[in-house]
């Protein structure tokens, strides 16, 4: 074999090795790359571990886990506003919140058929197909607007409107007062739960279904103004952790459920709550 042929052969082998190395490094980058940059990822604080006991709540102190993700209905997002913190003064929504979902709070699941039956049976209930029917419901007081209240706040809603049946709005306000009372005088005082979904028109439900396969294909209880979702607890103290806010939320949900006032579906990103009956 001539010298020139050997050189060409070596050159081809070198080029082949380089191409293989480039291909391998690209594959590694593809495996470790994320769809979002770290600064764009949504974050929340989860409870250190699932609550396994309903009495006592003797949980060990642990470093809070940080998780990434969205709720099943893809409606909640963390505030992107930049807030200047002065010593321990904080603005609600500026701290990473505690998550409120089936991974962090253990409550029994009520079948969705019961939710639907309860939604249809409420005194002012009607199926909201579109914006016109929603406006009509507001005009005759079958639906009422909902705003932030004691113990809770309303998230930025993309696939629902901040309106509910009057009796469901009363339920939300009662839960807010009870939650605030449970935290009063503790290190978690001022923490509020965040409502991430309320009344959806049927058109909004169909739009949500196109991007979220978990959205029900049957008539949603959100379209009756009978349900709302809780996905987070927003801390008011940067030194506080998620132990007490999570424990008190679980106790609150269990009590209301046991009293026959609400039905619950624990979801991957939130607690879906439907009014079962009006408190006498």
Q: Is residue 29 part of a domain?
A: yes
Together in a domain, 112 and 188: yes
Together in a domain, 22 and 71: no
- CA 178 distance to own-chain centroid: 20
Give the span between the Cα atoms of 166 and 200, in whole angstroms. Answer: 15
| Domains of the chain: total | 2
What integer pLDDT is reported at residue 7 of this predicted model?
55
Together in a domain, 118 and 2: no
Together in a domain, 123 and 95: yes
User: HSE of 15 in the Cβ direction (CA atoms, 13 Å)?
Assistant: 6
Q: Is residue 280 part of a domain?
A: no
Together in a domain, 103 and 141: yes
CB 182 within 8 A of CB 57: no
Looking at residue 97, which CATH number applies to its domain? 3.30.1380.10
Together in a domain, 128 and 29: no
Q: Is residue 79 part of a domain?
A: yes
Together in a domain, 91 and 214: yes
What integer pLDDT is reported at residue 70 of this predicted model?
39
Q: Is residue 38 part of a domain?
A: no
C-alpha distances (whole Å) from 197 to each of 163, 210, 228 are 10, 17, 5
Q: Is residue 2 part of a domain?
A: yes
pLDDT digits (tens, 9 = 90+) for 243-279: 999 999 999 999 999 999 999 999 999 999 999 987 6
Together in a domain, 22 and 47: no
pLDDT digits (tens, 9 = 90+) for 196-235: 999 999 877 777 665 655 555 558 999 999 999 999 999 9
Together in a domain, 216 and 259: yes
Q: Is residue 76 part of a domain?
A: yes
Segments of 109-170 assigned E as strands: 144-145, 152-154, 163-164
Together in a domain, 147 and 17: no
Tokens of 16: 């082949």
List phi, psi (to 5°) of 275: -70, 130
Supply angle C-alpha 76, 160, 255, rounded to 5. Answer: 70
SS3 274: strand
Together in a domain, 258 and 214: yes
Higher confidence at residue 209 or residue 46?
209
Residue in 249, 271, 136, 278 with CA at minimum distance from that of residue 197: 271
Radius of gyration of the chain (CA): 25
SS3 184: coil
C-alpha distances (whole Å) from 125 to each of 52, 71, 76, 82, 206 are 37, 26, 26, 41, 20
Structure confidence at residue 195 as a pLDDT band (50, 70, 90): very high
Q: Is residue 80 part of a domain?
A: yes
Give the span between the Cα atoms of 114 and 112, in whole angstroms. Answer: 5
User: HSE of 268 in the Cβ direction (CA atoms, 13 Å)?
Assistant: 13
pLDDT digits (tens, 9 = 90+) for 123-177: 989 999 899 999 999 999 999 999 999 999 999 998 899 999 999 999 999 999 9
Residue-number span of the structural domain to which 49 is assigned: 43-275
CB 217 within 8 A of CB 251: no
Look up residue 57 and give its DSSP letter. Answer: -
- The pLDDT mean for the chain works out to 76
List phi, psi (to 5°) of 98: -90, 140
Residue in 207, 232, 236 with CA at minimum distance from that of residue 83: 236
Tokens of 58: 């003797």
CB atoms within 10 A of CB 174: 14
Return the H-helix or E-strand segment holding 229.
Answer: strand 227-234
Together in a domain, 110 and 16: no
Q: Is residue 170 part of a domain?
A: yes
Look up residue 97 and give its DSSP letter. Answer: P
Contacts for 271 with CB less than 8 Å, ≥ 6 apart: 100, 101, 105, 107, 229, 230, 231, 253, 264, 265
């Amino acid at each position: 074999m001539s010298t020139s042929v050997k050189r060409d052969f070596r050159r081809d082998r070198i080029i082949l090795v380089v191409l293989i190395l480039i291909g391998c490094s690209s594959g590694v980058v593809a495996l470790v790359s994320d769809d979002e940059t770290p600064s764009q990822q949504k974050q929340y604080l989860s409870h250190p571990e699932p609550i396994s006991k309903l009495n006592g709540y003797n949980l060990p102190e642990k470093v809070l886990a940080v998780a990434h993700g969205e709720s099943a209905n893809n409606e909640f997002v963390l505030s992107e506003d930049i807030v200047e913190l002065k010593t321990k003064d904080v603005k609600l929504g500026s701290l990473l919140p505690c998550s409120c979902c089936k991974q962090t709070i253990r409550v029994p699941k009520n079948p969705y058929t019961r939710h639907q039956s309860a939604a249809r049976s409420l005194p002012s209930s009607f199926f909201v197909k579109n914006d016109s029917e929603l406006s009509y419901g507001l005009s005759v007081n079958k639906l009422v607007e909902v705003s932030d209240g004691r113990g809770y706040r309303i998230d930025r809603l993309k696939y629902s409107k901040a309106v509910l049946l009057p009796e469901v709005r009363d339920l939300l306000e009662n839960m807010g007062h009870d939650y605030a009372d449970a935290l009063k005088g503790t290190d978690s005082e001022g923490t509020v739960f965040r409502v991430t979904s309320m009344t959806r028109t049927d058109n909004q439900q169909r739009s949500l279904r196109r991007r979220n396969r978990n959205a029900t294909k049957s008539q949603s209880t959100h379209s009756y103004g009978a349900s709302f979702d809780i996905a987070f607890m927003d801390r008011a103290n940067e030194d506080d952790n998620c132990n007490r806010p999570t424990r008190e939320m679980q106790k609150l949900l269990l009590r209301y459920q046991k009293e026959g006032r609400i039905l619950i579906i624990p979801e991957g990103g939130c607690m879906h709550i439907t009014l079962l009956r009006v408190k006498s």
